Structure 1
Amino acid sequence: MGRKSPYPEEFRNDAVALYRAAGGKRTYAAVAADVGVTGETLRSWVRQADEHAGRHHGRGDQTAQSGDEELARLRAEIGRLRKAEKGVGARAGDPAPGGGLFRAGDEVKTRRWDFVSTHAGTFGVQRMCRVLQVSRSGYYRWVAGAKARAERRAADEALVAEIREVHTVHKGTYGVRRVHAELRGFGHAVNRKRVERLMRLHRIEGRHLRRRKRTTVPDRLAPPAPDLVQRAFTAVDLDEKWCGDITYVQVGGSWMYLACVLDICSRRVLGWSMASHMRTELVIDALNMAVATRGGSVTGVIFHADRGAQYTAAAFAQVCGGYGIRRSMGRVGSSYDNALAESFWQGLKRETMHQRLFVTMRQARLEIFQWLTYYNARRRHSALNYLSPVEFEQQHLQAAKIAIAA
């Protein structure tokens, strides 16, 4: 009998689904790099899943399932469009051509130097500048700078193309600071204010999310743990402090719940779990995955959460005690006492659910899993000097080794 995998079954199934969703366009190594395993490990998971499910016998069923999911998605989209307010559709409310909003001659206001340059052969520069009440010296300086302006425009156009590429690769989620950090990471020496100006000019924006209602349901009868963090969401070393929380995701007409565990030092998501329920097993599964990610030895780690019933449950306290984890809790009704987790949820929802609704559980699981792996491996974090959590951990461990050697 083979050795038991250190990765939870939920994680392995989601990794297999992520590879299959690529439809053969991405290699095992490419998907595995995002997930954080080797290509051969992912290949063996896919092979085991194929053997277990007997996919060569069930292709017809799978095709039908995909068709049903697509039909459900289209129906949901049609319903959304039918409910849209009158006048917000494409071209709705556009002023009629020739209407009172626009006046003849207002469409284009020619710049003064362009006008002088265009008509200089007919009227002469001196006369044109006198009539327009502008200086000739200013006009000649403008003519002398034509080459430099053309080069600057070309450089701006090239930079805008790079900005759009970064913005597209990260699915429209990056704002000015992360786009700037990504360009600097590529070795592009560019000023942040210039990036900001070009993004504003070309209407390239990151995503923003409105605040949602709080979902924590406290168990006032359960004995609380002390607050060992006191809103100090910083840590000198990895596995010094963790934090966790639960959020919800709307899927069609129902809900899916997601629990995560983050390392406060590196902001890395060490463990997560998704389910259609919000029972204590949800947070226990996420904690078990976090412990497995760190190799099983986490004695002394502080785990901070809110006072939700799942985190105050006796079963969760017993699991923490078995691992040697010290529990910590904030006050009832204070989101600031678990601000790091709240900020993480805002990022996830802003970048995965912007103006959209998941139709099926399978779609929701796949896209959230994909974002979580992307967040760990590639997404630049402002609190980490715009490194990804995995890059930060690698640098942190390398610095620790150098300090020990010295």
Structure 2
Amino acid sequence: MTEFIDQQRERGYAVQQTCVALNTQGVKVSARTYRSWKSKEPAPRVVTDAIVLNALHDLQKLDEKTGRPKPEVLGGRRKMRAWLQRNGFPDISKHVVGRLMRIAGMKGLVRGRRTTTTIRSKDKIRAKDLLNRNFSTDAPNKAWVTDFTYVPIRGGFAYVSFVIDLFSRRILSWASSTPDDTEFVEEALQLALWQRRNERKPHVRPVFRTVHHSDAGSEYTSRRYTQTLAAEGLVPSIGTIGDAYDNAAAETVMGLFKNEAVAKESPFRTGVLATESDVVELVVDWVHWYNFDRLHSTLGYCTPVEIEELYYDEMSGSLPDEAASKLAA
């Protein structure tokens, strides 16, 4: 406000004249108040709040090319606090973040209800559950989880399959298809194998004997898929029928994808998802953000790629003590 009045003074208008004009427009300010503002420094809290609010408003601004805000607007108070701490506000408290998010009109994403897509296999012979709901490992390539979900498009559905490494929660690969058959989930698996076998990292655990965990859907219990697992040296693991908790880590990623990328108000959408190509474009953007920029609470508010880099640095002996304690936590 003081800046506006100063601009009017430069144009030849007296302070009193400007204040009278502002009052007629509903802005209650007097010449005495203006002079008081000019003579006093703003409180530190006011300055800090203004800077943080500017950062929040920048996240909400629509990109000129895509017409979408930044994906970070999806975060709630805890995740937004972690993002702000990484971007110039290391000492900000959760209470300040919550208060300023309310002022900025930011609420974060609320997850919707899950729709079941698993078609149970009629064959009662299948692999045992080797994870037993223990979805954590101490190294990459010890255990992968996989699942697929659907995206409504014109004339039907597009199906998207993901393969996730339990250590870092990194999405190693994905594949899309209009029929939900064994072929397309197998494609996602082959891409994950290619990804890991072509990484040039020291101390990478070989893919051979990696536990491959899925639900009891017919796509994953088919003879073709089972033979592929055996040929690639993967150890099959399948949860019990009708129990989503046995594949909860993969189910979580499915839910995040549906709520963060597919939902109508998603910052990753530019319009109607009419074809499989529209879905593919959506998945490409979301998976890159998920792996490289999204802060995960289960990873101590690091990204999947950061967690893997920390692991490789620790194995090579080049990890600082502070980073090593963060990885251990």
Report the TM-score when normalising by structure 1: 0.61
1:217: which partner in 2?
A: 119
C-alpha spacing 1:200/1:275, structure 2 compared with 1 (3 Å): same
CA RMSD of aligned residues (A): 2.4
Gaps of 5+ in 1: 1-107, 119-142
Please show how residues 298-377 of structure 1 align to structure 2 within 5 Å.
Answer: 298-355=207-264, 357-377=272-292
Distance 1:148 1:355 in 2: 45
- Partner of residue 175 from structure 1, selected from 54, 60, 76: 76
Note if 1:152 corresponds to 2:45: yes
Note if 1:267 corresponds to 2:194: no
Q: Deviations over 1:233-288 (max 9, x none)?
A: 10011101100001000112310001110000000011110011111011110000
SS of 2:190 mapped into structure 1: helix
Name which one, 1 or 2, has greater alpha-carbon Rg: 1
Distance 1:384 1:364 in 2: 28
How far the C-alpha of 1:173 sits from its partner, in A, is 1.4
SS of 1:242 mapped into structure 2: strand
Q: Is the 8 A contact 2:75 2:108 kept in 1?
A: yes
Distance 2:153 2:276 in 1: 6
How far the C-alpha of 1:171 sits from its partner, in A, is 5.8
More helix by share: 1
What residue identity is the alignment partner of 1:376?
Answer: N
Note if 1:381 corresponds to 2:296: yes
1:232: which partner in 2?
A: 134
2:181: which partner in 1?
A: 279
SS of 1:294 mapped into structure 2: helix
Gaps of 5+ in 2: 1-25, 61-68, 199-205, 266-271, 320-329
Q: Deviations over 1:212-249 (max 9, x none)?
A: 22110111225111000011110011101100001000
Q: Is the 8 A contact 1:303 1:327 kept in 2?
A: yes
Give the number of aligned pairs. 265
How far the C-alpha of 1:327 sits from its partner, in A, is 0.4
Q: Deviations over 1:176-199 (max 9, x none)?
A: 222211111124221122111111
Distance 1:219 1:374 in 2: 34
Question: Identity over the aligned pairs, expressed in percent?
Answer: 29
How far the C-alpha of 1:155 sits from its partner, in A, is 2.0
C-alpha spacing 1:395/1:253, structure 2 compared with 1 (3 Å): same
C-alpha spacing 1:176/1:164, structure 2 compared with 1 (3 Å): farther
Distance 1:212 1:321 in 2: 32
Please show how residues 3-402 of structure 1 align to structure 2 within 5 Å.
Answer: 150-166=43-59, 168-170=69-71, 172-189=73-90, 190-295=92-197, 297-355=206-264, 357-402=272-317
Q: Deviations over 1:82-135 (max 9, x none)?
A: xxxxxxxxxxxxxxxxxxxxxxxxxx9x9xxx9xx99xxxxxxxxxxxxxxxxx
SS of 2:127 mapped into structure 1: coil
Distance 1:229 1:265 in 2: 13
Q: Deviations over 1:328-365 (max 9, x none)?
A: 01111111111111111111111112236512222211
C-alpha spacing 1:330/1:248, structure 2 compared with 1 (3 Å): same
What residue identity is the alignment partner of 1:291?
Answer: L
Distance 2:87 2:100 in 1: 18
Q: Is the 8 A contact 1:243 1:262 kept in 2?
A: yes
Distance 1:360 1:147 in 2: 59
Distance 1:187 1:400 in 2: 30
Distance 2:277 2:264 in 1: 19
Q: Deviations over 1:288-347 (max 9, x none)?
A: 001011116411100110000000001111111111100001111111111111111111
Q: Is the 8 A contact 2:57 2:104 kept in 1?
A: no
SS of 2:212 mapped into structure 1: strand
Distance 1:222 1:166 in 2: 50
What residue identity is the alignment partner of 1:315?
Answer: R
Report the TM-score when normalising by structure 2: 0.75
Q: Is the 8 A contact 2:164 2:172 kept in 1?
A: yes
SS of 1:220 mapped into structure 2: coil
